[in-house]
Amino acid sequence: MSSLTKKPYYSYSSWAGYSVEYSKLKHEVQVLDYVIPPTCPPPVQQGECHVNYIRKTQSSFSWDWGPSFPTQGIWKPLEIVGFDTLLIRDVTVIPEISKGKLLNLTVSVYMELASFEPVNGLMTIYLNNSTIFYSKINIKPDENLFAEKTFKISSLNNLDVKLWWPNGLGDQPLYLLKVVFSNNDETASKSLKIGFRTIELIQEPVQNSSGLSFYFKVNGVPFFAKGSNWIPADSFQERITPEYIETLLRSAKEANMNMLRVWGGGNYESDIFYEIADRLGLLIWQDLMFACALYPTDQDFLSSVKTEVTQQIRRLQHHPSVLLWAGNNENEQSISGYWWPSVKPNLDQYKADYVKLYIDTIMPIVLKEDPSRTFLPSSPSNGPKTVKEGWISVNPQDNLYGDVHFYNYFDDEWNPDTFPRARFVSEYGYQSYPSFESISSVTNSQDWVYPLTSAIKHRQHHMFGNLELQQMISKHFKLPASSCGLQGFKDFLYLSQILQAVAIKTESEKYRRSQSEVVNGEGKTMGALYWQLNDIWPAPSWASIEYGGRWKMLHYYAKNFFSPLLISPYEENGTVIVNVVSDLSEPLEDLELNIYVYKWSSLIPVYTNVSTFNKSPRSSQVVYRENIANLLEKVIVQIEITVLFILLCNHMVQS
């Protein structure tokens, strides 16, 4: 394996790991004219330095939820493919759909030739074994022995093609597209499973607000995005099986999710990942693999990036589950927020490098290779507002534009007022510890006590994470005493999961309630993707599914707070409010709402109220509102009536 010498840039296309000589990498950093941050991760992450110079999974060198295990070697299967004339490497497909009908299909075929001699033959394209195109073609290779041909296939509206829908909105029919080149010497082919749908990102003026909307339409239908963020499922990628990916993605579907964000500090996921997402109806917000860092922009690095982005988009473009392409995770925010001391003195240089990498280099490739999808330079970002501000917004976290990432570990996490009414929240979350079954499998029995031992703390890679958890838990519960031993340790793990589940429930339900309202210009929230779905190892993290696939309490809660029909009661300024949220496409009539009031000392309600209402499709509406003082007066009256009724009954019995 090659080690890093002067130019440590490697493409995701080959995606082998590399042994890293950090002394040479350090020398490379020193000869540059300016520092490209971050130089090193926080000490609590126990990671490696200068990893932004290497085109390898950024989180493999540590993150605030994972260890530093930078692997090396070839971890995907190798095969030798022989051909006499040409090999079809990739096929991209862009459908034209109108009024639910497939009208045209643009198919681009990318080939590698065996020699520089032009090749003649017949190109045939099948859809579910029906021929939809055939023609004689002549193929001339470029200087690298590659060639591409694009075919526009029209008049397909007579085909019986059903539309693909995200989970909860409809079915996920998939069709087999097969491209075949043949001549007297050879037959080459490539088959893909594809689905047909339209996806639009709508950013338009919002009534009673100065900002713009940020929501998606699928097949012309607006929908609320419900889901989470995906990180690498294991530090050692070769251990990830198709069955494990199926388990995790099916868990997302079972929790009523329709979208996952493949986060930019991880991997471009395997083909099987996207195939399962296609089948389950999980839309994939696809980050390109740049995260929480700035990057070099010399020609060697940019050349590697061009190859990487081109290959990955051609590989993934045909999947109906792929929603959009985002250039990076939080890199716009890192500059505007002055995350590192070197930003201010190098601000103009960093801005220029950012534009050179994401706007001048990556964006043209994305738009050329896949004009059917939106490209977002970063997440979070402000859409058209970011463009007007020169691609780096003063505040990429503006609640009136684009998407936001929201974290707050200081205010009351069980109070809805803590959380914003942003247009789309693509990251938010709270930590918890995994179950005792998980954490005990990687620790020793002497560590199963509270307060936490150093061995347990070793797995906490979020700065001040344990302190934040303890403070948040203590707002609502009593922390275990040091004398409680094993039971105290189990109680702490359990309390952390309660804290996380209720916090994310509170936050997620507020976002869903906010989809139909504007308050002080904010609102019309149309997406909630909490951080994060899965774990990379057994440790405290923001995940709702533990390493290995066991659901945390949060995931059971998610199944409810992402349900298609949500009853969401809450208190605001001394008033009890009940909101009903529907993702359903049909209106609901004559629904019945039952309000029950209980005393702490009894499971028998002391007051009941029944009301009926109608529910509009795909919306949120308040169906009950009552001042708490007035409600308690009604409760007292109800109790008095009940007591009087009991006394009368007793009197009648005695008589």
21-35, 129-143, 158-172, 288-302: least confident range:
21-35
Which residue in 288, 312, 348, 266 sits closest to 34, CA to CA?
Answer: 348
Pairing of strands 518-519, 588-597: unpaired
**φ, ψ dihedrals at 311, nearest 5°:** -65, -40
Amino acid 7: pLDDT: 30
Within 10 angstroms of residue 93's Cβ, the number of other Cβ atoms is 22
Instruction: Give percent of the chain above pLDDT 90.
Output: 86
> What is the spatial distance between Cα 564 and Cα 542, in angstroms, rounded to a whole number?
24
Per annotation, catalytic residue among 413, 427, 509, 546 = 427
Amino acid 77: pLDDT: 85
Q: Give, for 94, the enclosing helix (H) or strand (E).
A: strand 86-98
116: left (phi over 0), alpha (psi -120 to 50) or beta: alpha
pLDDT in tens, 184-198: 999 999 999 999 999
Amino acid 6: pLDDT: 29
**φ, ψ dihedrals at 459, nearest 5°:** -85, -5
pLDDT in tens, 539-574: 999 999 999 999 999 999 999 999 999 999 999 999
Token pair 């959380």 is found at 419
**Rg of the chain on CA atoms, in Å:** 28
Which residue in 47, 139, 153, 42 sits closest to 94, CA to CA?
Answer: 153
What letter does residue 545 receive in the DSSP assignment? Answer: B
> What is the spatial distance between Cα 112 and Cα 88, in angstroms, rounded to a whole number?
7
Q: What DSSP line would sit under 112-165, residue for residue?
A: EESSSS-EEEEEEEEETTEEEEEEEEEE---TTSEEEEEEEE---TTS--PPP-
Amino acid 157: pLDDT: 86
Do residues 107 and 93 lie in contact, with contact meaning Cβ atoms separated by under 8 Å? yes
pLDDT in tens, 498-549: 999 999 999 999 999 999 999 999 999 999 999 999 999 999 999 999 999 9
Mean pLDDT of 384-400: 97
Long-range contacts, 298-304 (Cβ 8 Å, 24+)? 300/7, 300/9, 301/7, 301/9, 301/53, 302/356, 302/357, 302/361, 303/9, 304/9, 304/10, 304/11, 304/55
**φ, ψ dihedrals at 510, nearest 5°:** -65, -40
The interaxial angle of helices 242-254 and 271-280, nearest 10 deg, is 30
pLDDT category of residue 19 using cuts at 50, 70 and 90:
very low
Check pLDDT > 90 for residue 640: no
**Which has more pLDDT, 129 or 358?**
358
| Tokens describing residue 267 | 């991997």
> Which residues does 194 contact at the CB level (< 8 Å), separation at least 6?
93, 174, 175, 177, 318, 319, 320
pLDDT category of residue 602 using cuts at 50, 70 and 90:
confident
Half-sphere exposure of 605 (CA within 13 A, CB side): 10
Maximum distance among all Cα pairs of the chain, rounded to whole angstroms: 111
Q: Is 640 a catalytic residue?
A: no
What letter does residue 550 receive in the DSSP assignment? Answer: P
> What is the spatial distance between Cα 636 and Cα 645, in angstroms, rounded to a whole number?
14
> Which residues does 530 contact at the CB level (< 8 Å), separation at least 6?
227, 228, 229, 427, 428, 429, 504, 507, 508, 542, 544, 558
Q: Strands across the sheet with 575-582, in order?
A: 565-572, 575-582, 619-627
pLDDT category of residue 639 using cuts at 50, 70 and 90:
low
Q: What DSSP line would sit under 247-297, residue for residue?
A: HHHHHHHHTT--EEEE-TTS-PPPHHHHHHHHHHT-EEEEE-S-BSS----
Q: Is 592 a catalytic residue?
A: no
Within 10 angstroms of residue 344's Cβ, the number of other Cβ atoms is 9
Pairing of strands 259-262, 283-287: parallel
pLDDT in tens, 94-105: 999 999 999 999
Mean pLDDT of 299-324: 97
pTM greater than 0.85 (yes/no)? yes
Peptide bond into 532 cis (omega under 30): yes
Do residues 579 and 621 lie in contact, with contact meaning Cβ atoms separated by under 8 Å? yes
Mean pLDDT of 133-142: 96
> What is the spatial distance between Cα 407 and Cα 426, in angstroms, rounded to a whole number?
11
Check pLDDT > 70 for residue 650: no
Mean pLDDT of 7-29: 39
Check pLDDT > 60 for residue 645: no
268-277, 349-358, 453-462, 607-616: least confident range:
607-616
Question: How far is Cα of residue 288 from the mean position of the Cα atoms in its chain?
Answer: 12
Give me the chain's average pLDDT, please.
Answer: 92
Question: How far is Cα of residue 582 from the mean position of the Cα atoms in its chain?
Answer: 22
Amino acid 649: pLDDT: 53
Amino acid 31: pLDDT: 55
pLDDT category of residue 643 using cuts at 50, 70 and 90:
low
Per annotation, catalytic residue among 269, 308, 330, 509 = 330
Within 10 angstroms of residue 497's Cβ, the number of other Cβ atoms is 19
Q: What is the dihedral of CA 205, 207, 208, 214, to 10 degrees?
A: -50
51-55, 157-161, 257-261, 619-623: least confident range:
157-161
Percentages helix, strand, coil for the chain, rounded to the nearest 5?
A: 30, 25, 40
